[in-house]
Structure 1
Amino acid sequence: MDELRQAIKDAVDAGITNYKGLSAAIKKNHAYVQQFVERGTPRELKERDERLIRDIISRGPGPQTAPSSGRQTAFKPIITPGSELVGARDFPIFAAAQGGEGHVIITFDPVEMVKRPAILEGVRDAYGVLLTGSSMEPAYWPGDMALVHPHLPPARDSDVVLFHVPPHNEAEAIIKRLTSFNDSEWRLKQYNPAMEFTESRVEWSICHRVVGKYNAR
């Protein structure tokens, strides 16, 4: 037993395990193993407990035996491969040209296909828009990319893309903050210059939600 006591003491001093963890592993009170090592109580461990403790010491740190508090151990990060953060390169990016009265003309002929962001993984017809103009600064700067979910319902205090007609080859659009709406109107906000205004839901019948953005590259 003296050899086992010394082996336990050496493992604890090295930060491989701790007394509390070893006691828990053999289903004893938290001070049981420490008393065994430092006070000789009990004089001997059961064969099953001795075997388990020797096995834990030989294997090093494990789920049963967290390192002693106060001792620093090497940080072992779990690295998520980049391939799991984004999907396939099948996400279309469309260009927006400045139109009149703060409107943009979005041409639905992709200027680029990029890795699909995780937030839009599996979303049919999702797309990105390269923004132009300054009416939404500082939320969006020219060259930022809005990430658009075309199937989410309108939601207050969200950014949206409104269309006159369903997007096809190209369409006139408004990219603004949706503050509220009713059966007949959208209430919208822009930041530069700061203003709020309403638009008819009959004229702007298509509403797509912006769910994120990429900063200008």
Structure 2
Amino acid sequence: MVETDPRAALADLAAARGDSLAALSAILGRNAAYLQQFVRRGSPRTLAERDRRMLAAYFGVDETMLGAIARPAPFRLPRLDVAASAGPGALVDGEIVLGTDAIDPALADRLGLRDGQAAIIRVRGDSMAPGLLDGDHIVVDTADRWPGPRGGVFVIRIDSATMVKRVVPGVDGLLVSSDNPEAGAVPTGEVAIVGRVVWQMRVLR
């Protein structure tokens, strides 16, 4: 990616519109020499955020052209109309996308998420309390479908029921349990892992 010199960019934008640097300085409420000194002497070294924002809006360009630091795009993931039950299991006929939410790309990178391989799902029930509560939204990494020797919390399907449970590998297959000791028994049947729960999105209560 080729970086643009903000001083040269400003001079080119002003010349293209026939605006003098003095006139542009006046628009900013600065003295007449302000932008001329910026372009020709490099003083100030960078434009003030307010000045940069006003000039970008005036010329209809992105602020990065005038020296703003480019911010990485947010990591977007679908919010599914699926309740991952922390109780007996929610019946699911299909996964309907309600919309998309965004998380910080640095967080997505730290969690190891990849585009198209993560989703947000709502928790229903309290069998995973106190870690997960009814109504919590969780980020599920659908690329991670193996618990490993230490296990973890996963969204799983047993028959047509979708639920969130703790899963660890056992001698005879996967062992599924609830964190809440007062929860009812986990349904029996073949376990299919949807993905690992990697983040909890909770509104303060």
TM-score of the aligned structures, taking structure 1 as reference length:
0.47
Q: TM-score, normalised by structure 2?
A: 0.49
Which structure is higher in RCO with an 8 Å CA cutoff and minimum separation 6?
2
